[in-house]
Structure 1
Amino acid sequence: MSSSNPSSQSGPLADVAKAGSGPSPGHAQGRGASQAPRRLSLCNDVVFKTLFSLHPHLLSDLINAVRYPAAPITVQRILNPHILPQDLAGKDIVLDILAEDDSGRRIAIEMQLQRFRHWPQRSVYGVARSLAGQLQLGQNYRELKPVIGISLLAHTLFTDHPAKADWHFTLRDTQFPQIQLGQALQMHIIELRKAETLGKLPAPLLAWIACLLHNLDEAVMNEITHEPVKEALAHLDTLYSDEELRLMAERREQALVDAEDMLDQARYEGEQKGLQKGLQKGIQQGLEQQRQVLLRMLERKFGPMPQHYQVRLSQAGAEQLQTWSLNVLDAQRIEDVFN
């Protein structure tokens, strides 16, 4: 998902912008504002998809960095290179890249900044759908090619495992995990921020992670030596001059910020309703306690309460209960209390 100016929002979008400690798009640091190149944030999924769709060899390098030490692949074509107008405004749209390698395998890559409550289910469903969508009527299962899902997450998914940030899932037996049911479904997940902190991954992958999180920070980018990432930065500088792409990226970014603001507002309204509901519940509980105390006082002084007085007592408000409680002190008969 897209990144944003940290001063304009809170939540996962702002976290990534702050993590980059860089300026807003178009204002890099490190060499001075006049000398630093202007570029778009690679975390913006519009920019992410545009860059790697235009330069499949860079996508191949990113995929190989994630899948290392598996045999390298070469992306032959991008199956969904276009960005539709509705993709820019849809907060639930995932602008993933669906690629095909030289052996016919499909690789689905997504840059994910936002948290989704059911993200694992959605991600598995997307990979499974890509697998199922390969075969047409009359085709044989032997023609089915594996599908590899790659998700680059700016947030931490597996909070109970702080020492691991790169994950690879396949269909494996629970008792003998070394035995797997083919390679048809594969999923790679990289928790970017955790991976950067741990620093235990191969150098090419760490270079891509730094680029994804900090490509607006020129000082950080000057430390990168991995040539494909350096080439990607050069392309990002060039893409900045594409006014249409800049506007698309800004529109996408604003849509995600608006969606997060709507969620914040919904949470706030829910909290207020909860507080109001809790207050009303507390008032009712207090009134009921007053009724019970007054009932015990009346029964202690006058004996069992007649039914019609019990009904009046159950419907009385705080002020009426207070008046009746004072009347008990001087009343000679129960009628004197309620009159």
Structure 2
Amino acid sequence: MAKDHRYSHDQNFKNLILDYPLKALEVFCPQEAEALDQENVRIIPLRQEQLKERLGNRFRELDVPLLAEWPDGRREALLFVLEEESDPRRFSIHRLAHYCLDLAELCDTQRIVPVVIFLRTSGNETDHLTLGGDHHQYLNFRYIRCALPEWEAETWWDSPNLVARLLLSVMHWRDDQKLEVYARSVRGLTTLEPDPEKQLKYIDFIDIYSALDDNEMEQYKARYPQENQTMTSLSERLRAEGMAAGIQSGERAVLIRLLERRFGPLNSEILACLNDASQKQLETWADRILDAESLDEIFQTH
């Protein structure tokens, strides 16, 4: 498995869960996710501002509480509490139980599913908490333990779940499978995620947790030319689009400044028109500024 690096694992996993909440639940708590009736359920991240205000210092910002709601009201909402731990020594089941009880009170619900995702594991993390006396147990608390280094990557090789494919590098694999793990993750990203911007975002995620060195990357390019070419083309296209967008944004800002100096403050309708304009329209309007006597002459269509 790839070793830890100087990155915010908490934030990386928070982004992953928030971008793909249903897919994350399918991977980390499949039995609970199976009952969600995905066509009708709505997954809503709890607002962190509200949690911080209501829970004060007990609120831990990088937890990811997800509320599953059925808009027709036929089932009570279900709250998923997902916590990522990159260092198992930091994990406290008492802290997690306390946090879940706080959320249960805050959200007025008894339907809570706590999940802990371990990027490293000692294999002996406490998975249950029991409080009681000599005669009775008065509190029993458990959580779903997802120790990714104990999961076999090969089991998820061809998974149709994008989150699983992105996590292959943090699962268990043999040293001779490192390039295959990287290729399977990249292939999953390019086939399961149609959004080019998210593809570029999560190739960084794959790079972080795969941690190929220069020599391994050269081997990868030689062994998997198709996957490498796909990501190279995507990166070049998005970089070109970003440069074009930056140029257009700059021209729009200059045009607004010139219009305001010539005709005074612009109303919201004209500003909206400028924001929606193409590169060609901006150039046409800029050419008219010197000769036009009014804004109407600049924005005329004929």
Same fold (TM over 0.5): no
- Answer with 1 or 2: which has the greater Rg: 1
Q: Which has the higher contact order (CA 8 A, sep 6+)?
A: 1
TM-score, structure 1 length as denominator? 0.38
The structure in which a higher percent of residues are helix is 2
TM-score, structure 2 length as denominator? 0.42
